[in-house]
């Protein structure tokens, strides 16, 4: 069970493609730390009942700058034996105390990097960020090697029109930093519709992506780095670039994936929070997850939403799985 929990809408960077851009005048919410604390028991009970590990993945905004997160992570890990991960813009990694915390308590760490050098800095509104990330990732990798433990280190790339040609050199550059896995998203249009039309991938770029992934995956594998993204995921990206809709009849909601937002609503994915989100307060923690898949399935069958007629949920298309080198 992967539980993606968006804990904050606050961020310290100004990215023109992101809805949490700090320069945007908009309400910002944080999750309720007491609710997260209490729900650790339900997640641990689900793990024990199914015999399958639960991975709780903190999302933002910038989750590592949210003050309650450190204590909550330590409690989830130490008291309940839950695995924990997060996705970060990397700016908090300059803290040696945080790096020690990550090494001690996290199973996975994903850092978002979009382009080489100054172009990444420009997209993130933070001069010098790329080189700071290089230094701080190196410190984290060295400490992990010295201690013989620490999170799996992954980097996530957002592919857009202006940065697409940097994919291969960027991937090889990041392989030298010590990342173990590389994954990618295409630019999405929901957060910043004013940025999307001129910066989305073109159909030709989507075709090139399908063509270059097998060789790039093989080259990175020789360096000990995994390039993620199944063949189904590449088809999803290609369809989006062509405005082709991919409907999903049954994504088996709630069976292996759960999204919880900062308002404390559990839903099949981030695209269904508004229509099918269930407040955690309305669920009984003792057996909440046992029946959740059936509840979601019944709700989606009773009220199908447009998001399901063109599913953009990356986990449905196996973003984090490698496809065979021959692309089949």
pLDDT in tens, 30-67: 999 999 999 999 999 999 988 989 999 999 999 999 99
Q: Are 8 and 63 in contact (CB under 8 A)?
A: yes
Residue 25, pLDDT score = 94
- Distance (Å, whole) CA 62 – CA 9: 7
Local confidence band at 277 (pLDDT 50, 70, 90 cut-offs): very high
pLDDT for 294 = 87
In a domain, 31, yes or no: yes
Give the pLDDT of residue 325.
43
Cα torsion 306, 308, 310, 311: sign? positive
> Considering the domain boundaries, does residue 323 fall inside one?
no
Say if 317 falls within a structural domain.
Answer: no
3-state secondary structure of 245: coil
Q: Does residue 327 belong to any structural domain of this protein?
A: no
CB 37 within 8 A of CB 72: yes
211 is in which domain, residue-wise?
Answer: 2-309
CB-based contact 89:13 (threshold 8 Å): yes
Sheet with 55-59: strands ordered across? 226-227, 181-186, 152-159, 108-112, 83-88, 55-59, 2-6, 257-260, 265-267, 278-279
pTM of this structure: 0.95
pLDDT at 285: 59
Residues 125 and 15 sit within 8 Å (Cβ to Cβ): yes
Number of domains in the chain: 1
pLDDT at 286: 56
**pLDDT tier for residue 328 given thresholds of 50, 70 and 90:** very low
Q: Which of 211-220, 281-290, 294-303 has the lowest mean pLDDT?
A: 281-290
The chain-wide mean pLDDT, for the chain, equals 94
Q: Is 75 within a domain?
A: yes
Whether 251 is covered by a domain: the verdict is: yes
Cα dihedral 158, 161, 163, 169 in deg (nearest 10): 90
- The confidence score (pLDDT) of residue 292 equals 85
Cα dihedral 249, 17, 56, 320, rounded to 10, equals 60
The pLDDT value recorded for residue 161 is 97
- Nearest in space to 182 (alpha carbons), one of 320, 328, 17: 320
Most confident of 69-83, 285-299, 311-325: 69-83
**Dist CA 15 CA 23 (whole Å):** 9
Residue 282 has a pLDDT of 86
> Is the residue at 288 inside a domain?
yes
Residues whose CB is less than 8 angstroms from the CB of residue 233 and which lie 6 or more positions away in sequence, other chains included: 314, 317, 318, 319, 321, 323
- 274 occurs within a structural domain: yes
Percent of the chain with pLDDT over 90: 88
Q: Above 70 in pLDDT, residue 145?
A: yes
Q: Summarize the confidence of residues 106-127 as an average pLDDT.
A: 97
Per-residue pLDDT band for 17 (boundaries 50, 70, 90) equals very high
pLDDT band, very low/low/confident/very high, at 290 (cuts 50, 70, 90): confident
Using the predicted structure, report yes or no on whether residue 278 has a pLDDT greater than 60. yes
pLDDT band with cut points at 50, 70 and 90 for residue 274: very high
What CATH number does residue 294 fall under?
A: 3.20.20.70
pLDDT of residue 288: 65
Diameter of the chain measured on Cα atoms: 54
Structure tokens at 59: 């999302």
Judge whether residue 287 has pLDDT over 60. no
pLDDT of residue 164: 97
Distance CA 264, CA 278 (A): 8
Is residue 214 within 8 A of residue 227, CB to CB? The reply is no
């Amino acid at each position: 069970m992967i539980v993606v929990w968006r804990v904050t809408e606050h961020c310290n960077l100004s990215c023109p493609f992101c809805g949490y851009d700090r320069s945007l005048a908009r309400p910002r919410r944080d999750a309720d730390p007491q609710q997260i604390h209490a729900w650790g028991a339900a997640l641990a009970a689900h793990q024990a009942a199914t015999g399958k590990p639960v991975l709780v993945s903190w999302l933002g905004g910038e989750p590592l700058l949210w003050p309650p997160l450190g204590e909550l992570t330590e409690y989830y890990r130490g008291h309940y034996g839950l695995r924990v991960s997060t996705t970060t813009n990397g700016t908090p990694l300059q803290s040696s105390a945080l790096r020690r915390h990550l090494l001690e308590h996290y199973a996975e760490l994903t850092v978002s990097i979009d382009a080489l050098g100054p172009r990444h800095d420009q997209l993130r509104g933070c001069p010098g960020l790329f080189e700071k990330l290089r230094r701080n990732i190196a410190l984290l990798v060295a400490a992990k090697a010295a201690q013989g433990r620490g999170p799996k280190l992954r980097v996530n790339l957002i592919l857009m029109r202006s940065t697409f040609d940097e994919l291969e050199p960027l991937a090889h550059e990041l392989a030298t930093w010590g990342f173990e896995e590389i994954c990618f998203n295409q630019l999405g249009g929901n957060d910043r519709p004013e940025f999307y039309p001129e910066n989305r991938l073109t159909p030709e770029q989507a075709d090139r992506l399908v063509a270059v992934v097998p060789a790039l995956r093989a080259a990175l594998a020789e360096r000990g780095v995994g390039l993620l993204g199944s063949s189904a995921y590449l088809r999803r990206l290609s369809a989006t670039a062509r405005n082709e809709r991919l409907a999903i009849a049954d994504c088996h909601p709630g069976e292996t994936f759960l999204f919880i937002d900062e308002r404390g609503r559990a839903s099949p994915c981030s695209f269904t929070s508004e229509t099918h989100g269930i407040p955690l307060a309305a669920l009984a923690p003792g057996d909440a997850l046992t029946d959740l898949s059936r509840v979601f399935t019944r709700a989606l069958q009773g009220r199908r939403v447009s998001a399901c007629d063109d599913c953009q949920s990356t986990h449905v298309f196996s973003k984090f799985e490698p496809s065979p080198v021959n692309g089949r």
